[in-house]
Amino acid sequence: MSSEEERGLALRSNWMDALSGAPSEDWSALPPELLEMIGSNLTEGAHLHNAAMVCKSWNARIATGLTNMEVDMHSDPGMWRAKILKLQSLIRHLRCVVIHVNAAITDDMLFQNIALVQQLKGVSELKLHLREGCDLPPAAAAAIGAMPHLTSLSIIGGSLKADAAASLLSGVAASACDVVGSPGLRSLTLLPAVPHGLGDAEMEVLSACSSLEVLEFRAYRLTSAGLATLSLGLPRLTRLAITSLDSDSGYELACLERLAQLAELDLALDNAPLGAASRRALCAVKPGRSLSLSFRWTDKAQGLLTEYGNRLANLTHLDVGACRVGSESLFEAVAQLTGLRELRMAVYSNADHCIPCHLSRLSALAALQHFRLEKRRAYFPEARRFGESSIAVPVTAEGLRSLADRWSRLRSLRLALSRKDYSPEALSVLSSFTGLRDLGIVVERYPGSSSSSGAQQQQQQQQEGVPEGSGASFSHPEHAPAGSGSSGNSGNSGISFSSGGGSSCNVGHGRLYRRTVELPPVLDLAWLPPGLQSLELNNLLLDLSEPSASFTAAPPALQPLPLSQLTSLDIEACVVRQPLLPQVARRCASSLRSLRLAGVVGLCDAVLSECLTALPMLRSLRVCASGNRAVSQASLAALSGCNPSREGVARLSVTGEGSGGSANVDANAATAAWRPFPQQQQQPQQQRPLLPLLRHLMWESEDLTARGPNLSTLAPLTTLRHLYLSCTDKTAERALGSLRVLQEALPYCHVDMVWTTARPGDVP
């Protein structure tokens, strides 16, 4: 391999490491446009340090393209001052700063640190993320409001008390009036943790911020009087979003008509309004404007949509929350809202008969871009228990093809239904949704069954015309989807089932009983549409066949590979063959940013390590393997580039990638993916983490819970900013000797675990 090829390979695997080793004359030869593009991709402090070390003309071009920066507020004032000074010296065109604040920072320290942020004169957008337990004091709130050059301010999370909110809003209003020629604050977002928010007292001060164009806040004890006060000001407001509105207060939303420039209205109500006056007020938004409604929990949404659906032509976003379904008229009422771009429904029913809800009723929503449907459990008083709702939502291949033809603009789809709702061949036509970017297929598991028996539901479905495959449960493994003809090897997926699980067999120890096994649906990942960026799978049998064996309408050679653009992957309670996850990791190696594996059957250290070594761009990793002894902290050694102990992988069984069978491999072959390169073995001090961008790590395993963390595997992960461990603080202290050891090894990381005592740094 030539030197140019080696350098290109290094740039593709870790471009920042390659740039750090580039000589200065190479930088001077690069065009200015390329330097600006490189600067726009630098978003972390380590990137800034590396680029400043190798580029002599740093302030000239690279900083021109760098406008956004995300930092963690340090608990040491000296370290935070040094960080602010570095931002001032290296970045002259910084416009947006995102600051994460943890609970270890005291009120006085937060005020002093905010005062240092005021020195960044060019910053016009400030986003403050307060973690759990963090309080914004009045002094710090006043300092934020006094920043005269801010045009956008967001405070999310934490607690925001009344005195702090008043200080913040007073400072914003005063700074807009004092600075001549300043555009003032144009966007304000205040979303503190529940139960904090803005009430009637804050509305008078908020209405004085006349420069606001976009306003989003959480309400707390807000009444119609407060809304009326707010509508008297804010002449430039174009978008208003209010969450946590209490519908029992009887809001007179007609007062919002005073906001002449209002184009988008987003209201999140706890319950659907009951009175006729309140319902008519929802229709008061002028035609042509965007109206968004979301309900947390309601039984009245169906009546609201049935009565006023034809008058809500401007409704673009609807979230009915948990809605009790009495008949299929709910879908018919929603179908009237032809302007909907986003629809979320969580339905339930405890009726004594099965209620069919056909997705084809919603085919008239041609403008739909986001659709989420969830079937929740219901409480049956006669049985005195929760169980699956007496609702049938048949998902068939014909139905999905019809929706794919009508919903040409659909970008996000999530279905959370029961096993009885998915027909065997339904998932094989998911590739028909060619425009999908986000997909979620969830098979819900309910604690019990409804009061009506399965035979009654099947009989009712046949009377209502529901296909038999959507309502019947599989009672024997031979009824699995392998016989659907969609894929030749998807039914065999390398998974064997015990014959003792059938309904005709007696199982048990000392006691005989009969049970019915409902096999999860089989999903061949080759059936997924290309271009997916986010994928959520729950309680499925997963397989990945060759493109030639997949069920596609066009020739396989013309189809791009699925999952090649995936950025987020969430797999929970699924059964997988061992080679499947590494195959998926190799397909999305250059794009995957977030990975979550929870309760995956077939996961082990060898498979997990092979996956992690193929994902250099990963920023968030969550592994939940409680009850799975095949997963241990030995997999974390792959993150730090260390050679893990062979004790945890000596008895692993790795499935050969070329065939569907399993082959036992010795410990040397199982640990081959973890061995560093020969040149790295000669110079261990130059080893770098294989995941240089990893910032969030959540790890739950049996050995971690029982014995505590292994410092040698966690200490090299210096890029971490949030770490969650499944052990208790007492167990971690016994393993490490002191929790301070872990905090010193990861000084910028917020470490969380199962706390039995007060967290370090918590203010009593």
Average pLDDT of span 506-520:
55
Average pLDDT of span 197-211:
91
Confidence of residue 118 (pLDDT cuts 50, 70, 90): confident
Beta strands of 311-369 (E only): which ranges? 315-324, 342-348, 355-356
pLDDT of residue 33: 64
Closest to 134 in 3D by CA, of 188, 191, 193, 76: 193
Contact between residue 450 and residue 388 where contact means Cβ atoms under 8 Å apart:
yes
pLDDT over 60 (residue 45): no
Q: Which range, 152-166, 535-549, 654-668, has the best average confidence (pLDDT)? A: 152-166
pLDDT of residue 320: 85
pLDDT over 50 (residue 247): yes
Q: Which range, 39-43, 556-560, 578-582, 682-686, has the best average confidence (pLDDT)? A: 578-582
Q: Taking each helix axis as running N to C, give the angle between helix 162-178 and helix 138-145, from 0 to 180 degrees, rounded to the nearest 10.
A: 20
pLDDT of residue 696: 94
Q: Which range, 5-14, 79-88, 300-309, 532-541, has the best average confidence (pLDDT)? A: 532-541
Q: What pTM was computed for the model?
A: 0.75
Confidence of residue 254 (pLDDT cuts 50, 70, 90): confident
pLDDT of residue 702: 95
pLDDT over 60 (residue 640): yes
CA angle (366, 372, 376) in 5-degree steps: 140
pLDDT of residue 282: 74
Q: How far is CA 531 from CA 409, 559, 572, 588, 670, in A?
A: 14, 11, 22, 11, 33
Confidence of residue 81 (pLDDT cuts 50, 70, 90): confident
Closest to 733 in 3D by CA, of 702, 762, 754, 761: 754
Confidence of residue 461 (pLDDT cuts 50, 70, 90): very low
pLDDT over 90 (residue 439): yes
* Better pLDDT: 678 or 79: 79
Tokens of 705: 């819970």
Closest to 323 in 3D by CA, of 349, 347, 293: 347
**Sign, CA torsion 223/226/231/237:** negative
Quote the percentage of the chain above a pLDDT of 90.
35
Least confident residue range of 394-403, 455-464, 600-609: 455-464
485-501 pLDDT per residue, tens? 334 344 344 444 443 44
pLDDT of residue 711: 92
Confidence of residue 287 (pLDDT cuts 50, 70, 90): low
715-728 pLDDT per residue, tens? 989 889 889 999 99
Average pLDDT of span 409-435:
93
Helix (H) or strand (E) holding 440: strand 438-443
Least confident residue range of 281-285, 337-341, 569-573: 281-285
**Sign, CA torsion 228/233/235/236:** negative
pLDDT of residue 249: 62
pLDDT over 90 (residue 475): no
Question: In sequence order, what are the residues at sequence separation of 6 or more whose Cβ sits closer than 8 angstroms to the Cβ of residue 578?
Answer: 602, 604, 606, 607, 653, 654, 655, 662
Rounded-to-integer distance, Cα 697 and Cα 540, Å: 25
pLDDT over 90 (residue 697): yes
pLDDT of residue 568: 97
Confidence of residue 288 (pLDDT cuts 50, 70, 90): low
Average pLDDT of span 516-536:
88
pLDDT over 60 (residue 764): no
Tokens of 352: 């004594």
pLDDT over 80 (residue 687): no
Tokens of 146: 């006094």
Closest to 201 in 3D by CA, of 181, 171, 225: 225
pLDDT of residue 250: 67
pLDDT of residue 64: 56
pLDDT of residue 499: 38
pLDDT over 70 (residue 652): no
Closest to 648 in 3D by CA, of 741, 558, 710, 569: 710
pLDDT of residue 486: 39
Tokens of 112: 């002093």
Confidence of residue 737 (pLDDT cuts 50, 70, 90): very high
